[in-house]
Amino acid sequence: MPWYPDVDAQCNALITLADAGIRAMPEGVTDFICISDSSYPPPPNPTFLIKLLKALVKGYPDRLNALWSAPVSSVIQFVMNLLLPLMPGRLASKVVLLNLDGVRDKLKDILMNGEEDIPTFFGGSCQHDKFYPEESSAENRGKGSLKFDYFGMVDRLVQARKEFEASKK
């Protein structure tokens, strides 16, 4: 996210990602957990946070199981403590602010492959950076501006759904 984000574009992008994830859900799965890496955020943008919360309230009140943010700084905790009372109760209870140890313990229990799937930025061993590398180490450096591969993400979601469904048989 840039220092002063384009709030509408950021919210629309997050809604697009959530919709793609919902479309790829296995049969019988009706909700999702959104996990946010909050280790290096820009200063909190209240307009963005309020707009994001409105999108969650209107678009995904029953689909959103939880919104985890980790590791959170004292600034984010302060801002969220101001915003949580303004949210509907059932949504406010879904927002969980965690430290690094807390998120690892929770991820072990919900990820399909347990501890193996915990990303390096949460202290695990799974290299998510191979999918979304920093621009300075990307293979396409100087040949375009690929920062996020939406279609690759959709393909991985479909493959993960197949693996999940196969594990349940």
User: Where in the chain are the domains?
Assistant: 7-167
pLDDT tens for 5-59 read 688 888 888 889 889 999 999 988 999 888 877 776 565 566 777 787 778 777 8
Model confidence at 120: pLDDT above 90: no
The long-range contacts involving 159-163, CB below 8 angstroms and separated by at least 24 positions, are 160/24, 160/112, 161/24, 161/25, 161/26, 163/112
Q: Which of 112, 113, 91, 115 is nearest to 103 (CA)?
A: 115
Q: Which of 130, 54, 68 is nearest to 100 (CA)?
A: 68
pLDDT tens for 44-100 read 566 777 787 778 777 887 888 888 888 887 877 888 888 888 877 888 888 888 888
Model confidence at 112: pLDDT above 70: yes
Q: Which of 161, 159, 135 is nearest to 146 (CA)?
A: 135
The topology (CATH level 3) of 7-167 is Phosphatidylinositol Transfer Protein Sec14p (3.40.525)
pLDDT for residue 163: 92
The Cα 118–Cα 53 span in angstroms is 26
Helix, strand or coil, per DSSP, at residue 64 = strand
pLDDT for residue 41: 56
